[in-house]
Structure 1
């Protein structure tokens, strides 16, 4: 099928039916977004199709209709009722062609993709190849997508980390131990940075910092021994010095007199009932996604700036990254004097 033929198909078809997918890592609040998109679409006389297992479901034609009743009672649920999965086939031209043909057979005119930058990269390529309108909703606990101050799931994950570490601090204080706590953030350290500040960590190690080695070694060699109390070191999994296990082993070898323990919070950070903030933001952005499609928007992500809805081209959302506020790093240094 040529590009002009695809364009003519799109121009000749009025927006009547939309598909929703959740892709990439799950995040609390995705179900709230599914609910908002579904009900906003139905309110505007559109049919809604849920696509199971992300892009894999598009390739496999794993579709199901969604009614207002189908999304009742999911607002408070973590995870995603549409499931998510990796799909190597969708990364090929042939796989995307198969997905497009499945959408055509199901008479799906447009897509709402809930996910992170990897999901939006796939959406951008797919939209360019087949001229299908796609609007993205940012859902990732890392809060690292360019063009939005907030991504769905971040507030819940942040509170999950804080609650877990508050409990760990109790046992750390009882035994006078240093705990090395690893949180998610392979390429972005905002979750580690803000959770570390919130729980009063002595050291916070993130991929974006250039002073990690200096700060870490200063604390281990002098800071802890001077205070002679328990300690908390929060480490983003993608920190350049290595993960919590590697750093703890190094610190223990160089300081055999210290009592060091490691706690990797892992996937518990992605789960749980979403906070009020995540539910509200997901609802706002979900409704805005439908409004954007009705306004003939294409290849954009719905974001928040200064608490106002914004439209960000996929090309910017996937190419650029949010930067860490250096004031937060300076604040951490001041507060732990």
Structure 2
């Protein structure tokens, strides 16, 4: 269970079996309306309370079954229905009471991490190839699918989708029964509002037509004619009439001359949540009724209803919907390789997708996205590739995206400032840990934290091995003697770790017990990458820990800052690549050098550019297979045999290609070697003996994590650490709950942890490396 679930459990003490049954039985008396059909009411029963108590044991067995793994969403639904039929005697009210009582106790939390179908978030997800107009070159765009995202940004995909499936996922606009005021769900046959819903659906259609290239069919100066062909799209809807109405407006904008030829298919994956007997009810009336049943105020009752595991009487939970949507889209993708699917669905579906695409754990992402607002017209673009979903959500139609973003920022910033309890000149203790993958420069930052902290009169403590050390209470006071030589230490001198168990409630409680003696008038500094900063944000927002983040990752994939370890990793990689260049030039060999960067190609790009490599293969590239054929093999055709010429290609780990399921250098070396062997110019001629060409892979991998810190990394570390301590002492409200970002020695700023974002790939540098940058007058 996560920390936020611990907090939720404490807040749900008012939920009793008796209250649940009273509430559920009252709702079961509701009758169907003109637009909706409710489940039939169960027959009266005097023993529901005892049966519900008994059913909790079998629900626990169901949870254990799910934890062991279920092959699909269908298997999950079948097992859940078996609990209702067998453990609850087919009585949905017994299940409602037993299930939600376990929810209040925190016993459903293991389901978050249960391996159900394809719903577990992947550890590595391929980034979407989004290129700004100013960095988009003919070489990048030619022969590829171009999706116009607006704001002069474009998503690139291979022209031949191959085994990929592309989804264009849209929610209906404003309907006659609005979900912001009523429980709508799959049992209510809703239609678009004539005055607001239909115009907004048409606006979404117009935006989508622009996005896929129906409007214009050319991309400015590039003169591209390689957009998608909407006549080949497959259209899928839910049972709700408003999704078919949306489909008709969209297809009218996409294929104006063949609208009648579109026959959308109903797909169960796209159905909205099942609210059971609450369907069609006003949300405020629902909350008031729950508050009365439990004897609490409306705000308190809402805590239960808004929980992702809360199962509606006669219906199911948002988590159940999440399982259906995510596993269902994987199934659809596997069934339609190489196709484009237009999915017309509901706000709950898009919310599930946003949670899945977000890198944070389910509960954290669920809290972040809140509800999908009626005013939010989005197209969620997805691709299923190598069994994994990647995606991007873009606002279209009539959404006032800047206003919404600004209001959200103000709200979250207000909440952050309210969590700052440190007062100026009041801090007494400073704790620091290094989390995640190790990196050069961490030792210099730690030493500066100790030196500056002591100068300001603070006690300084180090936590060994990151969040794992917090859970184990590996917290030690630090003296001057402890930090001697630490500034030049490669990697982390106090250890680090990747500690996935920190998401569990008991582990986080243990960590908080360890921190308890230090929490008053103190702060925790977390050094690490995006995952570590998410952990810092979680304990700040959940437990109120006064935390500050310092960016440290060789991937350098955090926007708005240079991360510790990046320059050190490049320096060590450069030494290795220069050695390989020397032997490559001497022997005529071809080297594929793999560096880390499964989720970002910033390190690979910097290494390749500095070494003047002949090519770079990164996850961000829209079509790695085409790059191998056109750039890698094309370059070798021109350069093999040139005297004293080196042949170096840098590859980011796990970059997908068709030559091996693991991607990266795996399978690539053999493919290139075998292809070269077939070239006529490589075959020996009579009286001529060709220079033998060896094709080899060198994996630098974790050697770059343990790189000795360069003077630049040590300087950045000292600046970041000094600024952290100074602000904690003098201006804690400007730094608690934030990451300290480094631009240069005269410009350090703070970025709230809730605003930490991935760094965009530098396509301009990529194209410059390939000699394909645009002249200024062509931009």
Of stretches 258-267 and 278-287 in structure 1, the one that deviates more from structure 2 is 258-267
1:277 pairs with 2:712:
yes
Q: How does 1:136-147 map to 2 (within 5 A)?
A: 136-147=549-560
The question of whether the paired residues in 1 share the 8 Å contact of 2:420 and 2:546 is answered with no
So what's the TM-score if we normalise by structure 1?
Answer: 0.91
- The equivalent of 1:313 in structure 2 is 752
Give the 3 Å change call, closer, same or farther, for CA 334–20 of structure 1 in structure 2: same
- The equivalent of 2:668 in structure 1 is 247
Matched residue SS, 2:771:
helix
So what's the TM-score if we normalise by structure 2?
Answer: 0.41
Of stretches 183-192 and 251-260 in structure 1, the one that deviates more from structure 2 is 251-260
**Deviation digits for residues 60-118 of structure 1, max 9, x if unmatched?**
11111012332122111111121012323321122112211211134562100011111
- CA distance in structure 2 between the aligned counterparts of 1:220 and 1:47, rounded to whole angstroms: 55
- CA distance in structure 1 between the aligned counterparts of 2:699 and 2:742, rounded to whole angstroms: 31
Shift of 1:207: 1.4
The question of whether the paired residues in 2 share the 8 Å contact of 1:56 and 1:90 is answered with yes
1:130 pairs with 2:543:
yes
- The equivalent of 1:189 in structure 2 is 601
The question of whether the paired residues in 1 share the 8 Å contact of 2:419 and 2:541 is answered with no
How many pairs does the alignment contain? 330
1:43 pairs with 2:455:
yes
Shift of 1:9: 12
- The equivalent of 1:114 in structure 2 is 527
Matched residue SS, 2:739:
strand
- CA distance in structure 2 between the aligned counterparts of 1:304 and 1:37, rounded to whole angstroms: 16
Give the 3 Å change call, closer, same or farther, for CA 55–178 of structure 1 in structure 2: same
- CA distance in structure 2 between the aligned counterparts of 1:103 and 1:267, rounded to whole angstroms: 31
Aligned with residue 589 of structure 2, among 177, 188, 197:
177
- The equivalent of 2:736 in structure 1 is 298
Unaligned runs of 5+ in 2: 1-6, 12-417, 658-662, 679-692, 774-779
The question of whether the paired residues in 1 share the 8 Å contact of 2:615 and 2:632 is answered with no
- The equivalent of 2:441 in structure 1 is 29
- CA distance in structure 2 between the aligned counterparts of 1:91 and 1:206, rounded to whole angstroms: 30
The question of whether the paired residues in 1 share the 8 Å contact of 2:419 and 2:544 is answered with no
Q: How does 1:162-241 map to 2 (within 5 A)?
A: 162-229=574-641, 230-241=646-657
- CA distance in structure 2 between the aligned counterparts of 1:221 and 1:27, rounded to whole angstroms: 34
- The equivalent of 2:766 in structure 1 is 329
**Deviation digits for residues 108-130 of structure 1, max 9, x if unmatched?**
62100011111111111111111
Give the 3 Å change call, closer, same or farther, for CA 27–168 of structure 1 in structure 2: same
- CA distance in structure 2 between the aligned counterparts of 1:180 and 1:279, rounded to whole angstroms: 30
The question of whether the paired residues in 2 share the 8 Å contact of 1:203 and 1:215 is answered with no
Structure 1 runs (4+) greater than 4 angstroms displaced: 7-14
Of stretches 86-95 and 35-44 in structure 1, the one that deviates more from structure 2 is 86-95
**Deviation digits for residues 19-49 of structure 1, max 9, x if unmatched?**
1101111101000000011111111111111
- The equivalent of 1:262 in structure 2 is 697
- CA distance in structure 2 between the aligned counterparts of 1:59 and 1:160, rounded to whole angstroms: 34
The question of whether the paired residues in 2 share the 8 Å contact of 1:135 and 1:292 is answered with no
Aligned with residue 67 of structure 1, among 479, 493, 501:
479
The question of whether the paired residues in 1 share the 8 Å contact of 2:633 and 2:672 is answered with no
- CA distance in structure 2 between the aligned counterparts of 1:264 and 1:71, rounded to whole angstroms: 33
Shift of 1:8: 11
Shift of 1:193: 0.8
- CA distance in structure 2 between the aligned counterparts of 1:9 and 1:252, rounded to whole angstroms: 59
Matched residue SS, 1:303:
strand
Shift of 1:227: 2.0
- The equivalent of 1:15 in structure 2 is 427
Give the 3 Å change call, closer, same or farther, for CA 233–63 of structure 1 in structure 2: same
Unaligned runs of 5+ in 1: none
1:88 pairs with 2:504:
no
Matched residue SS, 1:94:
helix
- The equivalent of 2:517 in structure 1 is 105
RMSD: 2.4
Give the 3 Å change call, closer, same or farther, for CA 98–76 of structure 1 in structure 2: same
Matched residue SS, 2:525:
strand
The question of whether the paired residues in 2 share the 8 Å contact of 1:146 and 1:316 is answered with no
Give the 3 Å change call, closer, same or farther, for CA 188–72 of structure 1 in structure 2: same
- CA distance in structure 2 between the aligned counterparts of 1:56 and 1:24, rounded to whole angstroms: 10
- CA distance in structure 2 between the aligned counterparts of 1:132 and 1:227, rounded to whole angstroms: 58
- CA distance in structure 2 between the aligned counterparts of 1:214 and 1:236, rounded to whole angstroms: 16
Shift of 1:240: 2.8
- CA distance in structure 1 between the aligned counterparts of 2:556 and 2:706, rounded to whole angstroms: 16
Give the 3 Å change call, closer, same or farther, for CA 226–32 of structure 1 in structure 2: same
- The equivalent of 1:79 in structure 2 is 491
Shift of 1:306: 5.2
State which structure, 1 or 2, has the greater radius of gyration over its C-alpha atoms: 2
